[in-house]
Amino acid sequence: MPAPTAPTRRAIARLLAAGAGLTALAACTPDGGNRPPSSASPSVTSASASQAAPPSSAGPETSAAATEPGTVAAPAPTAAPTPTSPAAGLAQQHSLTDPASPWLVVNKHRPLSPADYVPADLVQPNIALAVSGESAQLNSTTAAAAEQMFAAAAGDGVTMTLASGYRSYGTQVATYNSYVASRGQAEADTASARPGFSEHQTGWAFDIGDGGGACGFQPCFAEQPAAVWAKANAHRFGFVVRYPWMFHQITGYYYESWHLRYIGVEAAMDMAAKGIVTLEEYFGLEAAPGYL
């Protein structure tokens, strides 16, 4: 995207100056083993959560109404791109609801089904790892694409590490519950995806680091070579920066320059060519600023 570059830098600088931590709405809270959320940057996170008007704070009333006994359950998520969506033109179409589909869309309106889904083909990619255990795993398709992308980045002199990959339902339960216990649910929803709502559980998404760690999972990571390179090149390997700058009212999460999502080369290249930066818009889905 040619246009957003300069505003992005300025806006990031403004936010940093204001002390507003974009981690407040992180979809990517890393698991406790590597970087405990409670020690990540507590003052910034808790201060900004109340000031940043997180998208998820918009709908407590609707949330209560939806769970009242006797109300009809929400309709099943759309299973295919809408006929008029930009993605409808691609020769090969994929499911938007099957967790094993590269076009699966998970957001605050679209939980995984089943909620405790586990990818059948988890593998550890042959790339630089900053984590171990389940976090070092991806589904096999994403792992292969990551290997190609990391090698290409290295060829350009850019160090990229896998900072957080697969995260099981059980791990997400523990992470989310620890936030609820320490801060209450409203604030927990701004800091961690609810179990069953995280892209990390699908094996299609991961967070990158640069081996240094100073800006890991922080707004300033956007200025680091790994993020700059990924923003410019990830689509060539089938990835999108899933939570782009200033689209939190659509994606439900503030900018995460480190969180990449595999959707396939054809779709990622098509999105880049058309200047579309969210999966919601590309597949013709409703915006998902908060939980229903």
Q: Quote the least distance from Cβ 66 to Zn ion, whole Å.
A: 27
Q: Which stretch binds Zn ion (CB under 5 A): 20-28, 60-68, 84-92, 154-162?
A: 20-28
Strand duo 161-164 + 138-139: pairing: unpaired
Question: Would you say 27 or 86 has its CB closer to Zn ion?
Answer: 27
Q: Quote the least distance from Cβ 74 to Zn ion, whole Å.
A: 25
Residue of 261, 267, 265, 213 lying closest to 241 (CA atoms): 261
According to the binding rule CB under 5 A, does residue 28 interact with Zn ion?
Answer: yes
According to the binding rule CB under 5 A, does residue 163 interact with Zn ion?
Answer: no
According to the binding rule CB under 5 A, does residue 259 interact with Zn ion?
Answer: yes
What type of residue is 100? A
How far is the C-alpha of 100 from the C-alpha of 110, rounded, in Å?
15
Q: Which class for 139: exposed (0-12), middle (13-18), buried (19 or more C-beta within 10 A)?
A: buried
Q: Tell me, what DSSP letter sits at residue 89?
A: G
Question: Would you say 243 or 283 has its CB closer to Zn ion?
Answer: 243
Q: Which stretch binds Zn ion (CB under 5 A): 24-32, 33-41, 67-75, 113-121?
A: 24-32
Q: Tell me, what DSSP letter sits at residue 209?
A: E
According to the binding rule CB under 5 A, does residue 109 interact with Zn ion?
Answer: no
| Cα distance between the two ends of the chain | 31
Q: Quote the least distance from Cβ 259 to Zn ion, whole Å.
A: 4
Residue 203 parent element (H or E): none
Q: Which stretch binds Zn ion (CB under 5 A): 7-15, 126-134, 204-212, 220-228?
A: 204-212
Give the binding-site size for Zn ion (rule: CB under 5 A).
3
Strand duo 239-243 + 161-164: pairing: unpaired
Q: How many CB atoms lie within 10 A of CB 243?
A: 27
Among 187, 189, 207, 281, binds Zn ion (CB under 5 A): 207
Q: Quote the least distance from Cβ 231 to Zn ion, whole Å.
A: 15
Cα 260 → chain centroid:
7
* Nearest residue to Zn ion, by Cβ distance, number only: 28
According to the binding rule CB under 5 A, does residue 31 interact with Zn ion?
Answer: no
Residues that bind Zn ion (CB under 5 A): 28, 207, 259
